[in-house]
Amino acid sequence: MAHDGSEPHQHAVADRQWTLVTGDTLIGSFVSERDGRVIIRRSDGWLRPLNVTQLSAADQTWVAERQRQILQLNTQAAFLITSLPQPQPVVDPSAPQPAASADTAAQKKLLDQSFQPFSEVVKTRADENYFYVESNGVPAHEMMVGITAWQQQVPLPQKYNGENAWRIPLNPVPAKNPMSAKDNFFRGAIAIAVNGVPIFNPIKNDGRTDTLLAGELDNFGGHCGRADDYHYHIAPVHLEKQTGAGKPVGWALDGYPIYGYQDPAAKDYAPLDALNGHIGPDGLYHYHATKQYPYLNGGFYGEVVERDGQVDPQPRAESPRPALPPMRGAKITRFTQTQPGSYVLTYEINGRPGTVSYTIAANGGVSFEFRTPDGEVTKEDYQPRAGGRRPPGGGGGQRPPGDRP
């Protein structure tokens, strides 16, 4: 969670008890107030931003009076500066200075804690600006089962590492004009789950189809894209079994966390905004999962760069084979791992089964065997393409694994 540690220092005072409108209390010293936001330095040194309206009436009055005093002092200081040969800043030398890194440290700590349950398969690192997430994008849970609108893609491990890793801002900045995912970001990911699996916009790249309602998602809210890249389109709330309730299940690419479903009976319950998020009682913004659209972050509260319909930059997914058209009438009924690197996907068309069996080689090549409901068997081998380029899409040429549009 991000803290607005970049707020300018004004005048810090001794610790006092603050009371929120929720009844919760906080011990800390006043640092600054600007544009309706109060910065409080907690007794442990962390900065805690709050909206003034989150404070009790008495504390709001205290802040207003403190601001009046600061304004008076600064006015006097301005007069002294113009009257004396040497500047005379009006500050309390004993007052603690705000630590700009305090919010960064808190953000990194929460990020570390979020991904730790999956540390065996997800690697993380950080620099001064970003937290990087490396994975192969393949979850441990069952995939593909339950899909009734299938594009004939299957899960292949991706190289989300090095320069191609996911990155999350360590110092998220609220956007002046937040962007909605209802009208933007139909390509690429908008978030990353704590198990290292990307999360895409619930609306597919045609800009209108809800992937969940269209039957394109499996029992865990995911499917494979045209690069055989597995990803979610709704919040992966099932990950709370590993993370624990009340912990982030993902992070939006603007740097704000995504939590599971709200508890309407919870003491800190508050309505969500149009982006499916809100500022919690601690003064920090976050998103929540919902069972209806937008299901997760409905856009970005924080600053992001949009280029060609997606957040930029972000990792590339690659497949050695071409993208394929939908297989009409197919329902995926089973997906199993027969041995390390080998998988069998079973589907049905009008009650008749077909299979896609494939084995992934150490160099990234893939050998496929397709068995249609009519019993026709086709085998294909693909090798990694030079420069990461994939063959042309469309499934032309040899592939006949079932009915086509």
Q: What is the pLDDT of residues 114-144, one digit of tens each?
A: 999 999 999 999 999 999 999 999 999 999 9
In a domain, 399, yes or no: no
Based on the fold, state whether residues 37 and 83 are members of the same structural domain. Answer: yes
Asked if the structure places residue 113 within a domain, the reply is yes
23 and 158 housed in the same domain: no
Could you tell me the residue range of the domain that residue 72 belongs to? 16-98
Domain assignment present for 320: no
**Which of 47, 76, 98 is where one domain is finished?**
98
Is 250 in the same domain as 195?
yes
Residues 41 and 80 in one domain: yes
C-alpha neighbours within 13 Å on the C-beta side of residue 61: 3
Task: Single out the residue in 278, 311, 344 at which a domain terminates.
Answer: 311
* Whether residues 113 and 85 fall in one domain: no
Q: What is the mean pLDDT of the chain?
A: 85
Query: Is the domain of 281 the same as that of 175?
Result: yes
Look at residues 283, 281, 275 and name the one whose alpha carbon lies nearest to residue 302.
275
* 150 belongs to a structural domain: yes
130: which 2 tokens? 């970003």
Domain count, the chain: 3
| 395 located within any domain | no
Predicted confidence at residue 29, as pLDDT, reads 84
Do 199 and 335 belong to one domain? no
User: In this structure, are 140 and 93 located in the same domain?
Assistant: no
- The predicted pLDDT at position 63 comes to 86
Boundary of a domain, candidates 98, 122, 139: 98
**9 part of a folded domain:** no
pLDDT digits (tens, 9 = 90+) for 145-194: 999 999 999 999 999 999 999 999 999 999 999 999 999 999 999 999 99
Question: Does one domain contain both 58 and 83?
Answer: yes
In a domain, 108, yes or no: yes
Q: How confident is the chain (405 residues) per 10-residue block, as mean pLDDT?
A: 38 71 81 78 65 87 83 54 45 38 80 97 96 98 97 97 97 94 96 99 95 97 97 98 96 97 89 95 92 97 95 96 94 97 98 98 96 97 73 36 32
401 in a structural domain: no
Q: 302 and 192 in one domain?
A: yes
Q: Is there a single domain that holds both residue 111 and residue 227?
A: yes
Considering the domain architecture, whether residues 77 and 150 belong to the same structural domain is answered as no
HEC string of the chain?
CCCCCCCCCCCCCCCEEEEECCCCEEEEEEEEEECCEEEEEECCCCEEEEEHHHECHHHHHHHHHHHHHHHHHHHHHHHHHHHCCCCCCCCCCCCCCCCCHHHHHHHHHHHHHHHHHHCCCCEEEECCCEEEEEECCCCCCCCCCCCCCECCCCCCCCCECHHHCEEEECCCCEEEEEEECCCCCCCCEEEEECCCCEEECCECCCCCCECCCCCCCCCCCEEECCCCCEEECCCCHHHHHHHCCCCCCEEECCCCEEECCCCCCCCCCCCCCCCCEEECCCCCEEEECCCCCCCCCCEEEECCCEECCEECCCCCCCCCCCCCCCECCEEEEEEEEEECCEEEEEEEECCEEEEEEEEECCCCCEEEEEECCCCCEEEEEECCCHHHCCCCCCCCCCCCCCCCC
Please give the pLDDT value at position 31.
79
